[in-house]
Amino acid sequence: MSASPRFFTEREAALHSTKDSCWVLLGNRVYDVTSFLRTHPGGEALILGRSGGDVRREMEGPPHRHSENARRWMEQYYIGELEGDSGTDEAQTLRERRKASETGDETTDENADYNRCSSVDLDKDLVDWRKPLAWQVGHLGEKYDAWVHQPVDRPIRLFGNPLLEASTKTSWYWVPVVWLPIVFYVSWHCYTTLAKGTTRLDLTSGISVPIHKYFFPPLFLLGWFLWSFIEYCIHRFVFHMKPPGHNYYLIMIHFLLHGQHHKSPFDGSRLVFPPGLASLVVGSFYLLLCRTLPEILGTSVFVGGLCGYVVYDMIHYYLHYGSPKRGSYMYGLKAYHVKHHFEHQRAGFGITSTFWDHPFKTVIPGEKF
C-alpha cells in the first residue's frame, strides 16, 4: 500500500517562510515550493509574501487564474496534509489515516524524511521514465501532442549511450564562450575592410555606390532584425509543428528538437543550443547572405544576426532561471514565455521580444502578475 502522508500544524507550516524553506497551503494540502521560487514567472517575492498561508485565492485569481498545467505542476511539490479543526469531517479523515499509519495498517517509514510527490506516475505514464525517452515517444502516436504539453519538473534522459546523451546537454556559458569571439573578430574584420573605402555596391552595369565604414552599424542591426524574424519562424513553424500521429520518426525528431524542452521546461542543461547543432543554422545563414549580397556586406549582416542569436539564447535561459525586477521589461517577457509553456503553446512564439507575434496574430492575451 502507498505511504501515508505526513501531517503538519498551521504553526509548523507558518515557520517555513524564507528562501531556504518556503511552504504554502492549498486548503489542507501542504507544498514545499522552495525549489520553485527562482523559476516562478511572477517572481519569488509573490510566493514569499504568501508563504505559510493558503494560496487558493491566488490560484483562482484575479488577476491571474492559474492554468490546469500550473495546478498539475504544483502537485510535484506536495509534501503532506494540514491538521484541521477537530470538528470537521476532513480533519476526522486525516486523523483516521494517521491512526492507520501509526498502527501499521499502511506502509510507512517513520525514520525516513518526507518525499515530494511527482505528477509522473512511473507505472501509469505513457512512457517508461526509467528508460531513455528518445526511442519511446514515437510510439505515442496521436497522444504525443497532449502528453508533451503537460510539463513536469524532472530530468529527462534521451539516450542510453553516455556520450550521445552528453552531446544533447549544454551549459549556458558555452554559447558566449564559443560565439562571442567570432562576433568580435568578424565585426572588426568587416569594419576595417569597409574603412579602406574600396567596397562598392553595383546597382546596374554602369552605376555603383561606395559603402563606407559608417554603413557597418546599420548592416549589423539589419542582421539582428533578420535574426529576430528567423527566431520567430523556427520557433513557430519548426519547433511547434504538430507531427502526424502515424509518423514515428517525425515525432521523435520533434521531441529531440523542442518537445523535450516543453516536457521539462526547467532542465537547465537543455535551455540553449549545443554549438554543433547551432553551427548548422549559423552556416546556412552565412551562405545565404553571402550569395545574396557582396561578400563583405553579407558578412556584416551575418555577424549582426549571429550576435542576435547569442542574445536570444541568453535571454531564453534567463527567462527560465532569472529573477527579473517586477515591472521591468524582462519581468513581463518572463511571464509571457512561461504562459507559452503552461497555457498557450500555440501562441507567444517571440522570445527576445513579442514584435513578430503582433503581425502574425499569435500574441498571448495580457494578464497582470
Residue 316, annotated ligand binder? yes
CA dist 349 and 237 (Å) reads: 10
Query: Taking the CB of residue 40, how many other CB atoms lie within 10 A of it?
Result: 18
Query: Is 185 within 8 Å of 284 (Cβ atoms)?
Result: no
Residue 246, annotated ligand binder? no
Residue 344, annotated ligand binder? no
CA atoms within 13 A on the CB side of 322: 20
CA dist 30 and 194 (Å) reads: 64
16 secondary structure, DSSP code = -
Residue with cell string 509548523: 12
Evaluated on CA atoms 176, 177, 178, 184, the torsion sign reads: positive
Residue 258, annotated ligand binder? yes
For the record, the C-alpha cell of 179 comes out as 560565439
CA dist 213 and 247 (Å) reads: 51
Residue 66, annotated ligand binder? yes
CA dist 145 and 82 (Å) reads: 36
Residue 358, annotated ligand binder? no
Distances (CA, A) of 311 to 85, 172, 261, 264, 316: 54, 12, 19, 22, 8
Residue 139, annotated ligand binder? no
CA dist 99 and 108 (Å) reads: 12
- Please report, in angstroms and rounded to a whole number, the separation of the first and last CA atoms in the chain: 41
Residue in 232, 250, 231 with CA at minimum distance from that of residue 242: 250
CA dist 298 and 238 (Å) reads: 25
Residue 320, annotated ligand binder? yes
Query: Is 137 within 8 Å of 146 (Cβ atoms)?
Result: no
Binding site members: 40, 66, 235, 240, 258, 261-262, 316, 320, 337, 340-341
Binding site members for heme: 40, 66
Binding site members for Zn(2+): 235, 240, 258, 261-262, 316, 320, 337, 340-341
